[in-house]
Amino acid sequence: MTYAWRSGAYVTRRRLLVTGAFAAMGAVTGSAGTAVAQPRGMTLRARPAKVSLGRRTVSTWTYNGVVPGPSIEATAGETVRVPLINALPANTTVHWHGIRIDPRMDGAPGFSQEPTRPGERFDYVFRVPDPGTYFYHSHVGTQPDRGLYGPLIVADPREPLSYDQEITVLLDDWLDGISGTPDDALRRLNASTQHDDTLRSAVLGGVAAEMHHPLYLINGRAPDAPATFHSAPGRRVRFRVINAAADTPFRVALGGHELTVTHTDGFPCKPVTVDSILIGMGERYDFLVRLGSGAFPLVALAEGKRARAFAVVRTSRRAATPAKDAKVAQLTGRMLNYEDLRAPRADQLPRPSRVVTVRLGMRPSGNEWTLNDRLAADPMRVQVDRGETIRIVLDNESPMWHPMHLHGHTFQVNVNGLRGPRKDTVNIKPRERLEIDVLADNPGEWMFHCHNLYHQEQGMMGALGYGPPPRRGTTHTGMHRPAHKRTH
């Protein structure tokens, strides 16, 4: 534990990523936040492993043999060094989701980086310009629906919030090694033109997902052997919630507590207090909670799926452990809306100078998803000039919601003419139009895609690029890209 003098009060800054196995022993992983910048590094070895998800052990692909992968922690302004060693039987990359990164380090195969081949190594070296809650994951094929993801937490050297403890929560849906592999799941979807009508969610305006996953996880643990986060009554805790799932939007609540939301996708927002948050794939929310005394269910309801992920927040040794199906009144209380969220003045982007429309569509096949009628093989491209701000109107003409993610930038959502939150991933419901303002401040050729992994693999992948399109067969960095090395 370290103490730092801030605004006339001692602030305790402790960071805890508690895995279920460690929590069961009363131990925690993670390191104390410090005021002194230190070089950060962590080798990621992508490799097959057997992992325990609670009562169930599965064979999957991991970073360093654990799910989630190790927590990578840095301070804004630092340079992070992460050698990737590929011990998988397939090409892979690491994408640093939400980071305004050097494009050569973005892990976007076919855009700005060659994938790393089996047995090879690639050194990711990049600066993290902005504090906040991020994560990393493979960006090759269906690999993110295996165990290839982990948290990336960037501390603010001038953290304005005061709190006693941090808890990082990674949400995931899991099928690998239980109902085949994610590639099997994609093949099943590609062979079907019908959507499963049981997967409906009122808050997402229709069918919410492509499939039922057998398990829903918090920090790699299923509800039958949940992660336990240990704290103390009266502590003010900063939760950092990351939705790393492939196909599951979650509604998150903590039994008996309100949540004061402070950050959207890493960036600050004007604090707003709610009972629950809806979090799409690729989104992150930070919220503060003053904990009561007891043992409380932390629940992530899988929207449309009649299932949940579950963990326990314990501040009392004596309190009975809540049941995994415990009723949590907050789930049906006031849910966070984008309309509730405002970026503070310092984080507002310049007004846009022009408007571009991107239509989200579904082909009559029912299993191909388009951006401006185009599929990933011949992608839509939004062209920008360095320094301009453009407004992108996301017009969802398809019958499903989509969490759209832009690489390399954080945009500002324009909510009913008001200056909404800074985000890099935004949910658009069926038949909804939503405006995002993008400041073109990071030249490169960037992915712009649906973060439903299966929609991405069924075509919903476009580009945002600076200046004229790159020549075919080259990447933004000018590397020759031989046809045989294409990943899809």
Binding site for Cu ion (CB under 5 A): 402, 450, 452, 455
Q: Are 153 and 242 in contact (CB under 8 A)?
A: no
User: Residue 211's closest CA among 243, 239, 180?
Assistant: 180
For the bound state, the minimum distance from the C-beta of residue 369 to Cu ion, rounded and expressed in Å, comes to 6
For the bound state, the minimum distance from the C-beta of residue 383 to Cu ion, rounded and expressed in Å, comes to 23
Contacts of 281 by beta carbon, 8 Å cutoff, 6+ apart? 243, 244, 245, 246, 247, 248, 249, 403, 425, 451, 452, 453
Q: Residue 16 or residue 400: which is nearer to Cu ion going by CB?
A: 400
Other C-beta atoms lying within 10 Å of the C-beta of residue 339: 11
Q: Residue 311 or residue 428: which is nearer to Cu ion going by CB?
A: 428
Q: Cα 239 from chain centroid?
A: 14
Pull the structure tokens for residue 232: 């103390």
Q: Residue 221 or residue 455: which is nearer to Cu ion going by CB?
A: 455
For the bound state, the minimum distance from the C-beta of residue 207 to Cu ion, rounded and expressed in Å, comes to 11
Q: Residue 137 or residue 455: which is nearer to Cu ion going by CB?
A: 455
- In a 13 Å sphere around the CA of 392, the CA atoms on its Cβ side amount to 29
Q: Residue 70 or residue 206: which is nearer to Cu ion going by CB?
A: 206
For the bound state, the minimum distance from the C-beta of residue 436 to Cu ion, rounded and expressed in Å, comes to 16
Q: Residue 275 or residue 457: which is nearer to Cu ion going by CB?
A: 457
H/E element holding 186? helix 182-190
For the bound state, the minimum distance from the C-beta of residue 144 to Cu ion, rounded and expressed in Å, comes to 14
For the bound state, the minimum distance from the C-beta of residue 400 to Cu ion, rounded and expressed in Å, comes to 6
Roughly how many angstroms between the first and final C-alpha of the chain, as a whole number?
47
For the bound state, the minimum distance from the C-beta of residue 446 to Cu ion, rounded and expressed in Å, comes to 18
Q: Residue 227 or residue 394: which is nearer to Cu ion going by CB?
A: 394
356 burial level (CB within 10 Å; 0-12, 13-18, 19+): middle
Q: Residue 248 or residue 315: which is nearer to Cu ion going by CB?
A: 248
Q: Are 271 and 309 in contact (CB under 8 A)?
A: no
Contacts of 109 by beta carbon, 8 Å cutoff, 6+ apart? 91, 93, 115, 139, 140, 487
Q: Residue 185 or residue 450: which is nearer to Cu ion going by CB?
A: 450
Parallel, antiparallel, or unpaired: how do β-strands 236-243 and 165-174 relate?
A: parallel
55 burial level (CB within 10 Å; 0-12, 13-18, 19+): exposed
Pull the structure tokens for residue 161: 């919030």
DSSP state of 336: P
For the bound state, the minimum distance from the C-beta of residue 316 to Cu ion, rounded and expressed in Å, comes to 42
For the bound state, the minimum distance from the C-beta of residue 450 to Cu ion, rounded and expressed in Å, comes to 3
For the bound state, the minimum distance from the C-beta of residue 308 to Cu ion, rounded and expressed in Å, comes to 22
DSSP state of 470: P
3-state secondary structure of 189: helix
Parallel, antiparallel, or unpaired: how do β-strands 165-174 and 15-16 relate?
A: parallel
Q: Residue 56 or residue 429: which is nearer to Cu ion going by CB?
A: 429
Q: Residue 215 or residue 281: which is nearer to Cu ion going by CB?
A: 281
For the bound state, the minimum distance from the C-beta of residue 240 to Cu ion, rounded and expressed in Å, comes to 24
Q: How far, CA to CA in Å, does 271 sit from each of 65, 76, 151, 330, 343?
A: 37, 21, 23, 18, 10
CA angle 481/482/487 to nearest 5° reads: 80
